Amino acid sequence: MKTSIATVSIAGELPEKLSAIASAGFYGIEIFEQDFIAFDGRPRDVGEMVRDHGLEITLFQPFRDFEGLPEPLRARAFDRAERKFDLMCELGVDLILVCSSVHPQAIGGIDRAAADLRELGERAARRGLRIGYEALAWGRHVNDHRDAWEIVRRADHPSVGIILDSFHTLARQIDPDTIRSIPGDRIAFVQLADAPRIEMDLFYWSRHFRVMPGEGDLPVVDFTRAIMATGYDGPLSLEIFNDQFRGGSPRAIAVDGHRSLLYLADQVRLAEPAVSQSIPPMPPRVSVEGVEFIEFAADDNEAAALGRILSTMGFQKAARHIARDVTLWRQGGINIVINTELEGFAHSAYLTHGTSVCDIGLRVEDANATVERARALGAMSFSQPRFEGELDIPAIRGVGGGVMHFIDGNSELARVWDIEFQPLPAGPDARADAGLTRVDHIAQTMNYEEMLTWTLFYTSIFDVAKAPMVDVVDPGGLVRSQAIESPDRTLRLTLNGAESHRTLAGRFIAESFGSSVQHLAFACDDIFATAEALLKNGFEVLPISPNYYDDLASRFDLPGDLLGRLRAANILFDADERGQFFQLYSRTYGDGMFFEILERRGGYQGYGAANAPHRIAAQKRLLRNTTQTRWSQQTRA
């Protein structure tokens, strides 16, 4: 499969773009005229530079406002085309994109347009060049690929084909299966883009909100299935117009783009068996059976402080690693690992982010196949020197600078805690179990412009789906939140994109230098029994404003005793038509990390989004009071 990307899709100057595109593994590029014009070099130099990077120029574009023009505009359009042909010959590219006209003087008529394209194809053929005609979704007379194909069909020239763009078809809600009737050898090129569903002007939507396939809401898989069913065997190319991408890292965007095409091809291979032979297979998306462990990086002093917090939550210091300064804390099915090594990945993570989650271990069906799929999609495997007796646990580098390890039940990996750890006796200061049973979800925080990267990483590798994005109101600005969930919800991740450093999430990113996991949510079976056990253990709960409970009484028909119990234990409440949701929080520590303890009743599957503003306000209020207290103490000193 030949993968391509338009140079307009990523930021940077042309040499930087080419380096990023080549490093990501693309076969070729669509070169945009603007990129060529801005480069200080001859067309021949540009072509050589592209090929020096191991790339091919798959398409030159755009050539606008060509067909259906009255004289003398028609003659001038052909003159313009001849100059573009000169340029193409120097660049070393044989295909040009001609998009349907938006010129105010363009005259409609399929036969008129076909005649113009036939003559243009004849001129192109004399130079060994080809023409690809594309219907813009906002074209003056041609805005549907079915009309564009009829024009190409009537032009009836071997150097004239149709270019199909997923956005132009799907934004107008045209059935992509209508593509199946087009002969594959008449499709000159295919461009792919996704987009969130937004009701707005088509041109503005296209120029600012396109995203990689799989990052939006359009049925790009169905579009590509129809393309491949025709027998088309040319490049699949990304043409992305997105304001965030234009300001992002060229390398990161290029990697995302290549990953999106590989994932798209894999989905097409599975859904369209007739074309499976033309798309190389990869291991299936990984089914996650649960969170096996969460590993913190810390130094000795901060590990002790974290241990005290875990102890008040009912965790027991259960085991010590046979060769490393690593301690296992355990409660129910939750394994928390604290790593205080003075070398290795965890130590580097501590030096960079402070006390933070550096590693997440997932239970999967096949650990090696998980790494194989991740690598096929451009992720990097991870390893570091092992001590005698340590297992070789398959791992990859995740997004946000962390690591992910994989444990399965098909090998000795399932016995990792018995093999690598020695049990510790219960200490005299051990606290009572608080009834925590498992990891409900892991909340990861990132800059908003990175959310698409994180979403694509998880959805392409693992068998998970993304929930609709919601806005969380922070007094300092909005935070965009999106849940990623496995079908049986054994894995839940919430991705929280901060747009401002004034939000609690933005502050966490700044102060932890990009650490990703901001809070961990643990499930229990009886929130009130757990709250009582936590109180006895000395757990410091996040205090919630009394006003919250007054408002709660107006929103839900709660029995008076339940409302009083919620208020007394600082428990937040939510409900929907399926069930009820209870949650309480720890106070923040370190650079802003915290814990959540929750109970789901009935079929409730949300995350208490309505409570988030109240939780954030309480956290900020506590943070502000702590800062003022410290300032007063320093002033008196």
Please report, in range form, the residues annotated as the binding site for Mg(2+).
441, 519, 596
Token pair of 292 as six digits: 């096996």
Question: How many other C-beta atoms lie within 10 A of the C-beta of residue 335?
Answer: 22
Residue 120 and residue 102: Cα distance in Å, rounded?
18
Question: In the beta sheet, which residues pair with residue 163?
Answer: 134, 189
Find out whether 275 and 268 touch, Cβ atoms under 8 Å: yes
Question: In the beta sheet, which residues pair with residue 164?
Answer: 190
The residue whose two tokens read 């003056």 is 140
Q: What is the DSSP secondary-structure string of 250-265?
A: HHHHHHHHHHHHHHHH
Question: In the beta sheet, which residues pair with residue 160?
Answer: 131
For 80-89, b where at least 16 C-beta lie within 10 A, e where not — what string?
Answer: ebeebbebbb
Residue numbers in the known binding site for a divalent metal cation are: 134, 165, 191, 239
Residue 603 DSSP one-character state: T
Amino acid at 306: L
Residue 425 and residue 317: Cα distance in Å, rounded?
8
Amino acid at 285: R
The residue whose two tokens read 């956005």 is 167
**Spatial CA neighbour of 170 closest among 135, 122, 109, 218:** 218
Residue 250 and residue 349: Cα distance in Å, rounded?
25
Cα angle, residue 603 at apex, residues 599 and 608 outer, rounded to 5°: 50
In whole angstroms, how far apart are CA 385 and each of 339, 374, 388, 415? 16, 21, 10, 20
Torsion 568-569-573-578 (CA) sign: negative
Find out whether 50 and 21 touch, Cβ atoms under 8 Å: no
In whole angstroms, how far apart are CA 374 and each of 93, 282, 370, 459, 461? 34, 10, 6, 11, 6
Helices (H), ranges, 230-383: 243-246, 250-271, 300-312, 345-353, 367-376
The residue whose two tokens read 């001609």 is 98
**Spatial CA neighbour of 3 closest among 266, 184, 217, 373:** 266
Residue numbers in the known binding site are: 134, 165, 191, 239, 441, 519, 596
Contacts of 329 (CB under 8 A, 6+ apart): 307, 310, 315, 316, 317, 318, 335, 336, 337, 338
Contacts of 96 (CB under 8 A, 6+ apart): 59, 60, 61, 63, 84, 85, 88, 124, 129, 130, 131, 132
